[in-house]
Structure 1
Amino acid sequence: MNAPAPRLPRIGLLGGSFDPVHCAHLALARLALARLELDELRWLPVGHAWQKARVLTAAVHRCAMVGLAIADEPRFVIDRREVERDGPTYTIDTLRELQDRTEADWFLVIGQDQYGALDSWRDWQAVVRRVTLAVAGRAGSVPSPAPALAALPHRVVELPLPPMPLSSTEIRARAARGEPLDGLVPPAVARYIAQHHLYTS
């Protein structure tokens, strides 16, 4: 009788500008760990965000804030490959690099907004062939794919994230006004923002 195949590691990928990382990011990451039974979740701060018009805070600060936010969970790992790569950041390039090195069950953790616009990504068809999409659905609604994505068979699981009306845009605005960030970002991140005078100009 043949022995069962060994279980592959289950690895999640959570990308974003994290400018700054906030409590909703952490809630989604923890939900993904539990629901997907992940062995590891890699946080991928974006390098050159080709779909964003504004200039991001320096990568050294964004990576430092992520490191502070995830320090208490050993299954969270910061992966700096996208900030170290020259040129625009494309998810497909990251997936190819990772999957060339590690055999695993890969999960791409995204929000409903990204799911609804995924057909605007570079080589998006190749992206969905390589991963299971783990989509944070809005409360009470089923995640809706982009029309072109709906027509393409793909693996998807829903992550039912409770409503958390947090945005990095509002947090940056509050920091610029000198208002407290209690409950919006982890305390260590709030201290880092204050110490380095981020978002004040």
Structure 2
Amino acid sequence: MSAGRAASGEPVGVGKPRIGLLGGSFDPVHSAHVDLARAALEQLALDHVELLPAADPWQRRPLGASARQRQTMLELATADHPRLLVNPVELERGGKTYTIDTVSQLPDTAQYIWILGTDQLQNFCSWHRWRDILGHVTLAVAQRPGSALQPPAELADALDSLGAGLLHIDFTPQNISATDVRRRIAAGEPTDDCLPPAVARYIGQHQLYLSYPA
């Protein structure tokens, strides 16, 4: 597949390694996460994608699995994909997880592309110090059910002022969410269509999410 292009239509620059970053609680990681990372890897000409499990996401309720369990599930989900890497930097840092703390510590040895869905794009301006985040990464967005592909006006204005583009990932929306996966597990419903087999086995072995609220 061809390299991604900015919203302006100009080719993405080359030179430094291109690293994709996909953050989230991954509670648990599911098939759509892996598919999105693979789509970004191929379409945006990335050297690799790093999946960053959050320690304590400040915008959501307490997590159902421990940091170590979520990291292990990510490692199981990506074991067959050598260019999908698990980066535990946010878990090691601990405390409330803010994206700006992660991206501001990135070494200036690569180009960084932050991968997100349209649901996250629409609330991006609620992220802590979101304008500063734009100075460290390029945003790459994939369609999610029920949310628009266009950025909100405030974000669009900020991107324009920086002369920054918004990359698009051609990704068929998948109606899978960690919330629904947890609900299914608690209800005893099958998850074969939404969890990597190794992750499903791990969840069963450790009896995760059996009483966790959706």
TM (norm. structure 2) is 0.85
Is 2:93 the counterpart of 1:85? yes
Equivalent residue in structure 2 for 1:112, among 113, 118, 121: 118
State the Cα distance separating 1:190 from its structure 2 match: 0.5
Q: Kindly report the root-mean-square deviation, in angstroms, between the aligned alpha carbons of the 2 structures.
A: 1.9
Q: Deviation per CA, 1:24-77: give whole Å up to 9, x if none.
A: 111111100011111010000011110012334211111110000001111111
The residue that corresponds to 1:145 in the other structure is 151
1:151 aligned counterpart, secondary structure: helix
Is 2:189 the counterpart of 1:183? no
The residue that corresponds to 1:20 in the other structure is 28
Is 2:207 the counterpart of 1:197? yes
1:97 aligned counterpart, secondary structure: coil
Distance in structure 2 (CA, Å) of the matches to 1:55 and 1:42? 21
Amino acid at match of 1:184: C
Distance in structure 1 (CA, Å) of the matches to 2:33 and 2:102? 20
Amino acid at match of 1:131: V
The answer to whether the 8 Å contact 1:11/1:39 transfers is yes
Distance in structure 2 (CA, Å) of the matches to 1:155 and 1:123? 19
Distance 1:138 1:199, change over 3 A: closer
Q: Deviation per CA, 1:151-187: give whole Å up to 9, x if none.
A: 1123211112112111111111111122221121000
1:129 aligned counterpart, secondary structure: coil
Distance in structure 1 (CA, Å) of the matches to 2:189 and 2:42? 33
State the Cα distance separating 1:123 from its structure 2 match: 1.2
Distance in structure 2 (CA, Å) of the matches to 1:168 and 1:192? 15
Is 2:45 the counterpart of 1:44? no
* % identical equivalent positions: 46
Equivalent residue in structure 1 for 2:166, among 140, 156, 160: 156
The answer to whether the 8 Å contact 1:117/1:145 transfers is no
1:169 aligned counterpart, secondary structure: helix
2:59 aligned counterpart, secondary structure: coil
Amino acid at match of 2:79: A
Equivalent residue in structure 2 for 1:132, among 138, 149, 153: 138
The answer to whether the 8 Å contact 1:17/1:56 transfers is no
Q: How does 1:157-172 map to 2 (within 5 A)?
A: 157-172=167-182
Distance in structure 1 (CA, Å) of the matches to 2:144 and 2:173? 7
State the Cα distance separating 1:193 from its structure 2 match: 0.4
TM (norm. structure 1) is 0.90
Distance in structure 2 (CA, Å) of the matches to 1:52 and 1:142? 22
Distance in structure 2 (CA, Å) of the matches to 1:26 and 1:104? 22
- For structure 2, the residue ranges without an aligned partner over 5 or more in a row are 1-13
The residue that corresponds to 2:61 in the other structure is 53
Distance in structure 2 (CA, Å) of the matches to 1:165 and 1:157? 22
Amino acid at match of 2:209: Y
Q: Deviation per CA, 1:123-167: give whole Å up to 9, x if none.
A: 11111121110000248x961212211111232111121121111
| Runs of 4+ that moved beyond 2 A | 53-56, 177-180
Distance in structure 2 (CA, Å) of the matches to 1:187 and 1:66? 12
